[in-house]
């Protein structure tokens, strides 16, 4: 199949997932065309089946806001026609679903072809941004106009149906992880640099937005540090980073906490980690936690949104209500003092991640695609 993938090219979960999907499809001999405004961060390999089309957004003095969505639709039209795409798969509804709707209409008018559009909902496009009345009518319309809609968790499907008037089925195809890549052995030298005295390694990775409650990560870690030696790696960047760094200074945690910024080689960092901390206000799924589990780290998370669909309380990690940092810290302190139980939990996390291996999920997308390609 010739598949167009539209996504955010940044470190956000939807862009990561879309890129990994495209790479996996290319490995299975599909021709994949990424349409984005920048090279996606995880698109760091050469594959003859992968094409990258950059959306150019020319500026003009009249524009306070350059019309990205129009440029995106135009690029979609161009790529669909030139490369004779079989379908468009857009990730994150805003503005990708409405841009795809526009492209679909133009292609229909120009060529008579009805290009199928599949929209995958990822999270904040529904729960935070999409619900805002500024966007809601267009989001509802363009989701409904998609030929198929998928959501990355049961919880996100429920949230979508609760807040939008959706008139066609939403299919759940969960996020996935490449177990072979993330299940790598830790590099001892790297572990030694971070934890020279074999301290336990905590990890948080996100885009440091409010919804992630990054300060809770620091508070949990502070509590743990009062009981046992540990190190914390903070991966990523975003608006809440300065406040988190300030809190680290206030709590005198600087020797034990490192902010390492955006990282591409997550598998190597995850491989040395013992505990992944995700105290989010909401997560539709929590792809970062799944990748951590594949690397045999246990997960300390809230029970918000779709997190209970991947993190099984007391088995693969621990969960508590949003903001209940004390309970999460206590769970961590207890498990880290029992090496045998910790190792058992790490293996359970890995086994749980195996249920979301890309080899089981990619065929679900292929099956979905083929339903629409036949119609074409």
Conformational region of residue 208, where left means phi above 0, alpha means psi within -120 to 50, and beta covers everything else: left
**Does residue number 183 form part of the binding site for ligand GMT (CB under 6 A)?**
no
Q: CB of 122: closest distance to ligand GMT in angstroms?
A: 4
The C-alpha torsion from 239 through 244 and 247 to 253, rounded to 10°, is -150
Among 4, 12, 236, 279, binds ligand GMT (CB under 6 A): 12
Single out the residue of 95, 12, 2 nearest to residue 262, CA to CA.
Answer: 12
Residue 120 beta carbon to ligand GMT: minimum distance, rounded to whole angstroms: 8
24-32, 37-45, 205-213, 294-302 -> range binding ligand GMT (CB under 6 A): 205-213
Complete DSSP assignment for 188-249:
HHHHHHH-TT--EEEEEEE---GGG-HHHHHHHHHHHHTTS-EEEEEEE--TTHHHHHHHHH
By three-state DSSP, how is residue 85 classified? coil
Q: Residues 206-245 vs ligand GMT: string with x where CB under 6 A? A: -x-x-x----------------------------------
Least Cα distance to 218 among 196, 193, 249 occurs for 249
Beta bridge partners of 200: 230
Q: Binding pattern to ligand GMT, positions 149-168, x when CB under 6 A?
A: ---x----------------
Residue from the set 4, 9, 14, 361 that interacts with ligand GMT by CB under 6 A: 14
Q: What's the count of helices (H) and strands (E) in the chain, helices before strands?
A: 15, 13
Q: Is 36 in the site for ligand GMT (CB under 6 A)?
A: no
* Closest distance to ligand GMT from the beta carbon of 244 (Å): 16
By the rule CB under 6 A, 13 interacts with ligand GMT? yes
282 binds ligand GMT (CB under 6 A): yes
CB of 212 to ligand GMT, least distance (A): 7
- Indicate the residue among 12 and 95 with the shorter CB distance to ligand GMT: 12
Distance CA(362)–CA(142), nearest Å, equals 25
Contact (Cβ atoms closer than 8 angstroms) between residue 144 and residue 168? yes
Binding interface with ligand GMT (CB under 6 A): 12-15, 17, 92, 122-124, 152, 175, 207, 209, 211, 282-287
């Amino acid at each position: 199949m010739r598949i167009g993938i539209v996504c955010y090219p940044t470190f956000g979960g939807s862009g990561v997932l879309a890129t990994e999907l495209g790479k996996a499809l290319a490995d299975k001999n599909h021709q994949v065309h990424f349409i984005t405004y920048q090279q996606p961060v995880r698109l760091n390999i050469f594959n003859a089946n992968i094409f990258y089309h950059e959306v150019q957004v020319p500026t003009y003095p009249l524009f306070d806001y350059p019309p990205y969505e129009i440029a995106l639709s135009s690029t979609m039209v161009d790529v669909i026609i030139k490369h004779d795409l079989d379908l468009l798969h857009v990730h994150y509804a805003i503005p990708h679903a409405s841009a795809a709707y526009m492209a679909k209409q133009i292609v229909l008018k120009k060529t008579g072809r009805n290009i199928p559009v599949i929209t995958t909902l990822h999270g904040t496009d529904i729960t935070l941004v999409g619900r805002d009345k500024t966007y809601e009518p267009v989001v509802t319309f363009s989701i409904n106009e998609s030929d198929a809609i998928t959501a990355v968790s049961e919880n996100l499907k429920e949230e979508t149906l609760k807040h939008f008037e959706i008139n066609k089925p939403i299919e759940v195809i969960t996020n996935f992880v490449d177990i072979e890549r993330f299940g790598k052995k830790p590099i001892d030298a790297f572990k030694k640099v971070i934890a020279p005295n074999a301290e336990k390694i905590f990890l948080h990775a996100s885009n440091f937005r409010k919804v992630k409650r990054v300060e809770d990560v620091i508070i949990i870690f502070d509590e743990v540090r009062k009981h046992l030696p540990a190190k914390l790696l903070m991966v990523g960047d975003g608006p809440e980073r300065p406040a988190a760094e300030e809190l680290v200074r206030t709590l005198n945690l600087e020797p034990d906490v490192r902010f390492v910024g955006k990282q591409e080689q997550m598998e190597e960092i995850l491989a040395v980690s013992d505990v992944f901390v995700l105290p989010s206000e909401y997560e539709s799924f929590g792809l970062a936690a799944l990748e951590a589990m594949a690397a045999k780290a246990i997960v300390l998370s809230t029970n918000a949104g779709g997190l209970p669909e991947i993190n099984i309380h007391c088995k693969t990690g621990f969960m508590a209500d949003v903001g209940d940092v004390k309970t999460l810290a206590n769970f961590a302190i207890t498990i880290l003092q029992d090496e045998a139980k910790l190792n058992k939990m790490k293996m359970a996390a890995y086994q749980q991640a195996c249920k979301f291996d890309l080899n089981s999920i990619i065929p679900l997308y292929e099956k979905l695609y083929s339903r629409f390609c036949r119609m074409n």
